[in-house]
Amino acid sequence: MLKAVVFKEWLKIRWVFIGMLLINFLVIINTYFNVSNVLKVYSANVYLVKLITYEILFFDDLMYIPLLTGILISVFQFFPEINQKRLKLTFHLPVQESKMLFQMTSIGFISLLLIFLFDTFLLSLVSLNFFPDEVFKSMIITLLPWFFTGFCGYFLITMVFIEPNWTKRVVVTLIGIGLISLFYSGSGYAKFEQSWWMFMAISSLFGVIIYVSAYNFKRGIS
Amino acid sequence: MTNVVEVKNLTHYYGSKLVFENLNFNIKEGSIFGLLGKNGTGKTTTINILNGFLKPTSGKCLMFDEDSYALTPATKSRVGFLIEGHVQYSFMSIRQIEKFYSAFYPKWKKEPYYELMSKLAVTENQKISKMSCGQRSQVALGLILAQDADLLILDDYSMGLDAGYRRLFLDYLIEYAKAETKTIFITSHIIQDLENFLDECVILDYKSVLLHAPLKSFLDDFKQFKFEVDNHNLKLEKDYVVKNFELVKNKATLYTFEKKSVIEHYLNNNGINFTKLSEVPMTLEEAFIGITGKY
């Protein structure tokens, strides 16, 4: 049964997955060429001092891409379920509804994880190619909240699709936007070194809210 | 004979609006049961409650002895569900959707599905979203037949279908229903198609049940009398004799469960001058309109 669920979800998200993978790739390639071009003008030491002094992130083109990726994966995965209330078909399948939802969201989550691991891998190559190891470590810590926005955006939009009550949709969306904006607060490298786990906790919370909305959908609560 | 579905004292409100109150009926194993009513009388609401997609305000629905809001996967696998409008996963192709569903149902039989698909003049790679409404209805029907469910719940199977597809749909359902243990629960807004199909029916009115009876006894017992009157403003309220009354100029139509002699007596007792009283046979659709009214 899991194989069938994976098959169905993949049919829905395959093009957006490939598309976003390509966009993420192009953004990072662009980052590579930007850094490469700058280093033709400045020496690596001068550029590094400039980056640290002015808190310039050499990979900041990627900042909102994970959030966009999460939102789009959710739209492509759950809009077809809500359109004409197809989720009724899904919840009528002989599987516990919570288990089905867990499997569906896990597929979206894993898709995002794969894209973000791909980003991390490529950016690591860029960083290690041009900068010392310390920059690589702080880059990873800086990237983490951005990746968490991707997961939050995914869970939030999924909740908006599934939740039948408009008031709850609006309230949770506003809270969600507020929380996601926290992820972008601050500037410079590794600002959230001590608090990245908080972002992970917030992302997990978004994941749990989906089950409340699914319960509301299943019971026709509006 | 055991009951596959039991609806007990079901009451539902949307906000403060009453949909129906104290709805009661059972569906026997092996029967074809129709839930009929005008738009907005609560047919889809009942089906949603039955499938656990809506919590009733009060009362209970049992399906295979399980509370409908807590159906186990084993029970859900015994129920084929056709959503209003033949909704299916339209992003899948004919072959993909069969492959998908087959993983969930142990008794899956792909033959009836592909037999139906072979009549559609489409390839197995045809996307469902690119098919006509009639073709999509056959995909949905083929899937629930392949599921080999013990109970089919069909919410307005006739929606958007022309006469040919409606007939094809019913022909397959009749074959399916020949097995003694297969049960069908159906709603439709095209009543006429169900005349030779249903065993039993409930007719819903706004907020209440108008009739719950075997279809044959409804058609045998419910009568239409036509007569002419002098009074063009004659009004007859519904009561124990009159179930509905219509008057166009001097032509009166009275719907009742009583015999002609009772109607004659009733009209005379109420001081109504009438002529040409005669009983006129009705189709199921006419009987349905007779009992529910045109408005």
Task: Please indicate if any CB of chain A lies within 8 Å of the CB of B108.
Answer: no
Task: Please indicate if any CB of chain A lies within 8 Å of the CB of B87.
Answer: yes
pLDDT for residue A119 is more than 90: yes
pLDDT at residue number A50: 82
pLDDT for residue B233 is more than 90: no
pLDDT for residue A55 is more than 80: no
Q: Do B85 and A89 touch (CB under 8 A)?
A: no
Q: Do A89 and B104 touch (CB under 8 A)?
A: no
Say if residues B41 and B191 touch (Cβ distance below 8 Å): no
Q: Do B53 and A3 touch (CB under 8 A)?
A: no
B96-100, B223-227, B232-236 — which is least confidently predicted? B232-236
Domain B222-292 has CATH 3.30.420: no
Higher-pLDDT residue of B172, A189: B172
pLDDT at residue number A221: 66
* Ranges of each domain in chain B: 3-217, 222-292
Higher-pLDDT residue of B93, A221: B93
pLDDT at residue number A187: 63
Distance (Å, rounded) from C-alpha B116 to C-alpha B138?
Answer: 7
Q: Do B104 and A1 touch (CB under 8 A)?
A: yes
Average pLDDT over residues B202-207: 88
pLDDT at residue number A219: 76
pLDDT at residue number A213: 86
pLDDT for residue A105 is more than 90: yes
The string of pLDDT tens digits covering residues B155-168 is 988 888 888 888 88
B3-217 matches B222-292 in fold: no
The string of pLDDT tens digits covering residues B259-276 is 999 999 999 998 888 889
Phi/psi at B294 (nearest 5 deg)? Answer: -80, -20
Mean per-residue pLDDT of chain B: 90
pLDDT at residue number A48: 81
pLDDT confidence band for A138 (50 / 70 / 90): confident
pLDDT at residue number B236: 86
Return the SS3 of B258. Answer: coil
Q: Do B104 and A220 touch (CB under 8 A)?
A: no
Range B3-217: architecture per CATH = 3-Layer(aba) Sandwich (3.40)
Higher-pLDDT residue of A202, A82: A82
Pairs across A and B, CB distance < 8 A = 67
Give the distance from residue A161's alpha carbon to the nearest chain B alpha carbon, in angstroms: 16
pLDDT for residue A151 is more than 90: yes
Task: Please indicate if any CB of chain A lies within 8 Å of the CB of B81.
Answer: yes
Beta bridge partners of B253: B226, B246
Return the SS3 of B31. Answer: coil
pLDDT for residue B111 is more than 70: yes
pLDDT confidence band for A1 (50 / 70 / 90): confident
Nearest CA among B80, B87, B281 for reference residue B195: B281
Say if residues B249 and B229 touch (Cβ distance below 8 Å): no
pLDDT at residue number A93: 95
pLDDT at residue number A201: 85
pLDDT for residue A174 is more than 90: yes
pLDDT at residue number B76: 94
pLDDT for residue B71 is more than 70: yes
pLDDT at residue number A49: 82
pLDDT for residue B142 is more than 70: yes
Question: Other CB atoms closer than 10 Å to residue B116's CB: what's the count?
Answer: 22
pLDDT for residue B140 is more than 70: yes
E strands, chain B, in order: 3-14, 17-28, 32-37, 58-63, 66-67, 79-82, 151-154, 183-187, 200-205, 208-214, 223-229, 244-248, 251-256, 274-279
pLDDT at residue number A193: 65
Query: What ipTM was assigned to the predicted interfaces of this complex?
Result: 0.86
pLDDT at residue number B25: 93
Higher-pLDDT residue of B222, B162: B222
Q: Which of A43-57, A73-87, B184-198 has the highest mean pLDDT?
A: A73-87
The string of pLDDT tens digits covering residues B174-188 is 888 877 689 999 998
pLDDT at residue number A23: 96
Distance (Å, rounded) from C-alpha B207 to C-alpha B12?
Answer: 9
Question: Other CB atoms closer than 10 Å to residue A77's CB: what's the count?
Answer: 25
Q: Which of A4, A86, A88 sits opposite B103 (nearest CB)?
A: A4
Average pLDDT over residues A155-170: 91
Q: Do B96 and A1 touch (CB under 8 A)?
A: no
pLDDT at residue number B150: 93
pLDDT at residue number B146: 93
Average pLDDT over residues B58-79: 93
Higher-pLDDT residue of B46, B40: B46
Average pLDDT over residues B194-219: 90
DSSP result, B124-154: TT-BGGGS-HHHHHHHHHHHHHHTT-SEEEE
Tokens of B126: 């045809």
With CA atoms as reference, the chain B residue closest to A77 would be B91
Nearest CA among B134, B126, B74 for reference residue B105: B74
